[in-house]
Amino acid sequence: MGFTSFEGLRNGVAGRGAAGGSVTMWVLASALSLVVGATGCGVQELPSEEQELALHTQERAVQEDNGLSLNGLSLNGLSLNGLSLNGLSLNGLSTTNFANWFNGNPAGHEQLMRYMVRCAVPAGQTRSFVNPSTGVFYTWQGGLGLAPSWASGAPATVVEQQVVSACLAAHANNYGLHISISVLGRDANGVDIPYTADELASFPRKESCFFGNVFTSEGLFAGNDRNALAAEESTSRPCGLRGYGALSNAECTQLKRIGQCEQHCTLDANGMYYTQCTVNGMQYRPLTTRMRPQDVHRCGDGVCQQGESCGWGVTADSCLPDCGSCPAP
């Protein structure tokens, strides 16, 4: 799911059905094919839903928009809602356990499902859900197809849990902004995510590696896949690149920093992405992301972007030229 930025998390409601929708509605729904984010000075208007869908149909849907807000979402223990056992199918989405989990935080969990389906389910497929408590009908679009068995209704394997977790982490953006990224790696079956020379040219800057398992208590991890950001640099992806010595970001406390990816991960033979990462004695299937040059901001470019702060200096966290001085307390 490059997982994606928002003006906010659109709720993705396609229509309404009667509470406790019938099996017929489920069959029809399956045949039919996230919380407004904070905005900062200089953040431009975000693309429309139609523009986003058009982007995801280009070049095999590998150029992703990130924007999954982890704020307020409890990711650990996703298996408790039954999804990891019942799969992303009618059986998985029609259980009482899933409905109870979903209604614990409808806005946040709708956004999470939007990205989970995008990560796990192949492009051209959808997954639908009729909320038995409200009658609201949701449809979520597939995209990367990283978990083929789980998407088909089988229990999620450990590798499928890992690669979907990595995908969610890669799409995380607690600012709620849509920023295009390139996602590289392998699916749960070891098949490369397709990419083109044009994609690599459009996203030439290496960013990060992401991995972990949110279906257990192992958590999520991220590292730099290039030199750390300079003091005057920043990005609008708070869970991605970090600066020298910066092991965490207050805007993305849900991911644990590991420093440089190369210290924990193994590159594929072509050096394009990481195939395995190891932390705390556990091995994970990671995903690797790339960025556009314009999405690395520099204090002094005249625009106050998300990730920069007011102040009296020329560093990203105190950028007088772009963001001005901070008001007196």
- At 86-119, the pLDDT tens digits run 788 877 888 888 888 889 889 888 988 999 999 9
Q: 81 by DSSP, 3-state: which?
A: helix
Asked if residues 171 and 66 have their Cβ atoms less than 8 Å apart, the reply is yes
- For 32-85, what is each residue's pLDDT tens digit? 222 222 222 222 333 444 444 344 434 444 467 777 877 666 665 566 566 777
> Higher confidence at residue 142 or residue 20?
142
- Mean pLDDT (whole number) for 254-283: 94
Q: Is the pLDDT of residue 1 over 60?
A: no
pLDDT at residue 231 in the model: 86
Task: Indicate yes or no: pTM above 0.85.
Answer: no
pLDDT at residue 57 in the model: 39
Tokens of 181: 């990224």
> Higher confidence at residue 14 or residue 270?
270
User: How many whole angstroms separate alpha carbon 307 and alpha carbon 51?
Assistant: 25
- For 198-212, what is each residue's pLDDT tens digit? 999 999 999 999 999
**Residue 220 phi, psi (nearest 5):** -120, 150
* Mean of all residue pLDDT scores within the chain: 77
Quote the Cα angle for 295-298-304, to 5°: 85
Cα–Cα distance list, 313 to 72, 232, 316 (Å): 33, 9, 8
Look at 54-63, 236-245, 294-303, 318-327 and tell me which has the smallest mean pLDDT. 54-63
Q: Is the pLDDT of residue 251 over 70?
A: yes
> Higher confidence at residue 49 or residue 8?
49
Look at 4-8, 117-121, 194-198 and tell me which has the smallest mean pLDDT. 4-8
Asked if residues 325 and 312 have their Cβ atoms less than 8 Å apart, the reply is yes
pLDDT at residue 34 in the model: 27
pLDDT at residue 146 in the model: 96
> Higher confidence at residue 227 or residue 257?
257
Q: 313 by DSSP, 3-state: which?
A: strand
- Mean pLDDT (whole number) for 10-33: 28
Q: Which residue has the tokens 């979903």?
A: 102
Asked if residues 4 and 66 have their Cβ atoms less than 8 Å apart, the reply is yes
Q: With the CA atoms of 141, 3, 164 and 16 taken in that order, what torsion angle do they form, in degrees rounded to the nearest 10?
A: -30
- Mean pLDDT (whole number) for 318-327: 89
